[in-house]
Amino acid sequence: MSVKGKEWGQALYSLQNLHSMSSCFLLGPIDSSLVKLQSLSVFRLNNNNFTSSVPETFDGLTNLTTLHLRNCNLIGMFPKQIFQISNLQVLDLSDNQNLQGSLPYFQHNAFLRSLNLSRTGFSGQLPSYLLNLRMVSSLDLSKSKFHGRLPSSISELTSLVHLDLSFNNFTGSLPFFNMSKNLSYLYVNNNGLEGEIPSFHFKGLENPVFIDLGRNFLNGSIPSSLFTLPSLGGLSLSHNKFEGLLDEFPNASSSPLEVLDISGNNLQGHISLSIFHLKRLSFIEFSSNMFNGTIHLDMFKSMENLATLDLSHNTLLVDGNLMSDQIHHSPFPKLSNLMLASCKLRKLEISQTSIQFVVP
């Protein structure tokens, strides 16, 4: 049964020693009398329909360590002083598209470990004093309205593991993350970043898992060192302005790379032979470049997990002629999407697999 804001607020007021609140079927607005629950440390009320602003008096909850208000239909300006609650470690305001606000000044002794403002109306530039969030391991500002250059100080967040700045309006160059040795997930796709990526840009990362730089304006050549970052399972550089050749790189057969998307660039020449030694690849997107030469499908036979292969819109001659023993025993048991639009086909014989052909 749903309970309205004033009713549940007054009911909770009698629970002076309440330490934790979790998801309920509540309706707004949020009652400001909740600030009197001084023992409250965990406030987790995701997926309720408050249709209200967050009371400024919430900064009086001095023992608060966790504040979860995801998908609560919050509106208005979020009070900056709540960010500065001295014991606050986790703040999740995601999926409140009508909630507005900006990042405040963070104290040097901030305990914040996880900040999620994704899919909100938060806006403004990232302040240089972001570096004061020394303990933050997860920072998600995706699909909001932030803009401006990324401050170099973001690279000094040494505890970062997950950083998502995608779908904003960030410009300028991509900061180095050599001090964020534990950074595993980096998403800065769908922004306005520009400039080159030098070969040493991600040197020092110890456990990278996924890097997405897609849909920006990055240029220059793609450093081959990106393909062999230790533990990297996914790399997307799609729809940028990268150009030139793909260089060969060592130790490709030991790479854990499973997803590789370099589509929508200005890459040219032959596809690097090292690519065909990335045995764990399951998703390959090379479409809409200027690659040329001849590609034999046999060259992918070491990739037993290959599910998607897209070579469309290049100047490639694709030879699908397989060895006789492979015609009845497909070397691509998991292949379900084969896209060869605008390629020149010499022959194509693949059986015992379900393939979506995109060959006009």
The per-residue DSSP string of 50-115 comes to --SPPPGGGGG-TT--EEE-TTS---EEPPGGGGG-TT--EEE--SEEEEEE---PPPTT----EE
Higher-confidence residue of 296 and 96: namely: 96
Which helix H or strand E contains 242, and what residues bound it?
A: strand 241-244
Q: d(Cα 285, Cα 266) in Å, to the nearest integer?
A: 14
Helix/strand/coil percent split, the chain, to 5: 15, 30, 55
pLDDT at 212: 98
**pLDDT bracket for residue 321 (50, 70, 90):** confident
Domain residues for 187? Answer: 5-358
| pLDDT tens profile 260-300 | 999 999 999 999 999 999 999 999 999 999 999 999 988 99
**pLDDT bracket for residue 129 (50, 70, 90):** confident
Q: d(Cα 29, Cα 50) in Å, to the nearest integer?
A: 5
Nearest to 351 by CA among 334, 324, 327: 327
For the cut 90, the answer to whether the pLDDT of residue 241 exceeds it is yes
pLDDT at 37: 77
Measured at the CA of 129, the angle between CA 127 and CA 133, to 5 degrees, comes to 115
For the cut 90, the answer to whether the pLDDT of residue 192 exceeds it is yes
Q: Which residue has the tokens 């081959």?
A: 224
Percent share of the chain, pLDDT over 70: 87
Handedness of CA 133, 137, 141, 147 (dihedral sign): positive
Q: d(Cα 128, Cα 151) in Å, to the nearest integer?
A: 6
Q: What is the pTM of this model?
A: 0.91
Q: d(Cα 115, Cα 146) in Å, to the nearest integer?
A: 15
pLDDT at 349: 60
Contacting residues for 234 by C-beta, under 8 A, at least 6 apart:
209, 210, 211, 212, 257, 258, 259, 260
Which helix H or strand E contains 6, and what residues bound it?
A: helix 5-13
Q: d(Cα 339, Cα 313) in Å, to the nearest integer?
A: 9
CATH number at residue 208: 3.80.10.10
Angstrom CA distances, 191 to 11, 144, 162, 166, 310, stand at: 46, 11, 18, 7, 24
Handedness of CA 35, 37, 43, 45 (dihedral sign): negative
For the cut 60, the answer to whether the pLDDT of residue 353 exceeds it is no
Contacting residues for 254 by C-beta, under 8 A, at least 6 apart:
none
On average, the pLDDT of the chain sits at 88
Please say whether the beta carbons of 171 and 196 come within 8 A: no
The domain total for the chain is: 1
For the cut 70, the answer to whether the pLDDT of residue 1 exceeds it is no
Three-class SS state of 300:
helix
Q: For residue 100, report the phi and psi dihedrals to the nearest 5 degrees.
A: -110, 165
| pLDDT tens profile 19-37 | 455 556 677 788 777 777 7
Q: d(Cα 119, Cα 8) in Å, to the nearest integer?
A: 28
Please say whether the beta carbons of 304 and 334 come within 8 A: yes
